[in-house]
């Protein structure tokens, strides 16, 4: 009996200790007032700022990105007791997505939710706020293949889907570039091709194929880049 009581005391102590640890990790989540754009469209997300980073609900992101090439589904893996993200799949709507917040600061505790992406564990920073898990937007972008940018002029969060890795976001403050669409033939029968500022080992037949920012595209001759081992874009070439 004494032994049982001893174990009980240890359990009670462990419980007190764990609640203490939980309380110590509590932080304040401030509702984010920054507009959010997804591929240049404003989207009224409910988001919180914690320690300078933005936290969003997983299903809000899944709901909004559905139909883009960054779409993903959210399922529950009962065996692992984990959230599983299925990239490339269309999103299964549960209802209740994109609920608006009350604009009030809330208490957030670190979330221990296990998340897998296509069966592989991913480490997403998350907080539990009012019973819901909010995930760090940048972590989600990295895990799911969309880009998260900050537009200083608009003071806005920009989510870029699609060919996230290859696409260059065009800030709204920039003037529209001259779009050069038809293939340009130069003297000698060579062709002008276009190379974006990033992902610049690929050349394009036009300077606005959707995988680059035309403002920063540079033209070269096809012969030159082909000789240098550049690859042709599989979208516009
Ligand atoms: Zn292209």
Give tens-digit pLDDT for 120-160. Answer: 888 899 999 999 999 999 889 888 878 888 887 788 898 88
Taking CA atoms, 115 is separated from 4, 85, 103, 111, 145, in Å, by: 37, 7, 27, 11, 16
Distance 112 CA to ligand 1 centre (A): 42
Distance 187 CA to ligand 1 centre (A): 23
Q: Which residues constitute the domain of residue 206? A: 184-232
Distance 222 CA to ligand 1 centre (A): 13
151 plus 47 within the same structural domain = yes
Distance 212 CA to ligand 1 centre (A): 8
Distance 226 CA to ligand 1 centre (A): 15
10 Å CB burial of residue 220 (0-12, 13-18, 19+) is: middle
Domain presence at residue 175: no
216 plus 152 within the same structural domain = no
49 plus 112 within the same structural domain = yes
Distance 15 CA to ligand 1 centre (A): 59
Distance 194 CA to ligand 1 centre (A): 8
219 plus 109 within the same structural domain = no
36 plus 147 within the same structural domain = yes
What is the pLDDT, as a whole number, of residue 8?
Answer: 53
Q: What's the gap between Cα 167 and its chain centre?
A: 14
80 plus 47 within the same structural domain = yes
- Nearest residue to 190 (alpha-carbon basis) of 220, 236, 221: 221
Distance 196 CA to ligand 1 centre (A): 9
What is the pLDDT, as a whole number, of residue 169?
Answer: 44
39 plus 102 within the same structural domain = yes
Distance 65 CA to ligand 1 centre (A): 23
Q: What is the per-residue pLDDT across 222-233, written as a single tens digit (0 to 9) for each?
A: 998 888 888 888
Q: Does the pTM exceed 0.75?
A: no
Q: How many domains does the chain have?
A: 2
What is the pLDDT, as a whole number, of residue 61?
Answer: 97
What is the pLDDT, as a whole number, of residue 208?
Answer: 78
What is the pLDDT, as a whole number, of residue 143?
Answer: 81
115 plus 152 within the same structural domain = yes
Distance 173 CA to ligand 1 centre (A): 24
Domain presence at residue 18: no
SS (H, E, C) the chain: CHHHHHHHHHHHHHHHHHHHHHHHCCEEEEECCCCEEECCEECCCCEEEECCEEEEEHHHHHHHHCCCCCCEEEEEECCCCEEEEEECCCCCCCCCCCCCCCCCCEEEEECCCCEEECCEEECCCEEEECCEEEEEHHHHHHHHCCEEEEECCCCEEEEECCCCCCCCCCCCCCCCCCCCCCCEECCCCCEEEEECCCCCCEEECCCCCCCCCHHHCEEEEHHHHHHCCCEECCCCC
121 plus 81 within the same structural domain = yes
Distance 237 CA to ligand 1 centre (A): 6
What is the pLDDT, as a whole number, of residue 167?
Answer: 43
Distance 147 CA to ligand 1 centre (A): 19
Instruction: Examine the fold and report which residue of 126, 160, 194 is the final residue of a domain before the chain moves on.
Output: 160
The answer to whether 200 touches 231, Cβ cutoff 8 Å, is no
Distance 188 CA to ligand 1 centre (A): 23
Domain presence at residue 177: no
Q: Which residues of the chain have pLDDT under 70?
A: 1-24, 162-183, 197-200, 213, 215-216
Domain presence at residue 174: no
What is the pLDDT, as a whole number, of residue 171?
Answer: 45
Domain presence at residue 65: yes
């Amino acid at each position: 009996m004494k032994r049982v009581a001893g174990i009980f005391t240890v359990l009670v102590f462990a419980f007190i200790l764990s609640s203490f640890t939980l309380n110590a990790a509590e932080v304040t989540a401030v509702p984010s007032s920054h507009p959010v754009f997804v591929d240049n469209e404003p989207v009224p997300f409910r988001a919180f700022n914690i320690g300078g980073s933005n936290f969003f609900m997983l299903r809000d992101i899944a709901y909004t990105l559905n139909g883009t090439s960054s779409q993903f589904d959210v399922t529950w893996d009962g065996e692992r007791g984990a959230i599983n993200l299925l990239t490339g799949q269309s999103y299964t709507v549960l209802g209740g997505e994109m609920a608006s917040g009350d604009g009030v600061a809330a208490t957030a505790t670190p979330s221990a939710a296990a998340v897998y992406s296509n069966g592989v564990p991913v480490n997403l920073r998350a907080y539990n706020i009012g019973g819901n898990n909010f995930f760090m937007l940048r972590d989600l972008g990295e895990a799911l293949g969309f880009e998260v940018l900050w537009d200083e002029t608009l003071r806005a969060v920009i989510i870029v889907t699609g060919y996230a890795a290859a696409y260059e976001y065009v800030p709204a403050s920039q003037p529209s570039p001259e779009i050069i669409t038809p293939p340009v033939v130069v003297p000698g029968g060579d062709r002008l091709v276009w190379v974006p500022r990033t992902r610049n080992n690929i050349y394009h037949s036009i300077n606005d194929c959707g995988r680059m920012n035309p403002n920063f595209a540079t033209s070269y001759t096809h012969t030159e880049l082909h000789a240098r081992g550049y690859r042709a874009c599989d979208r516009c070439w």
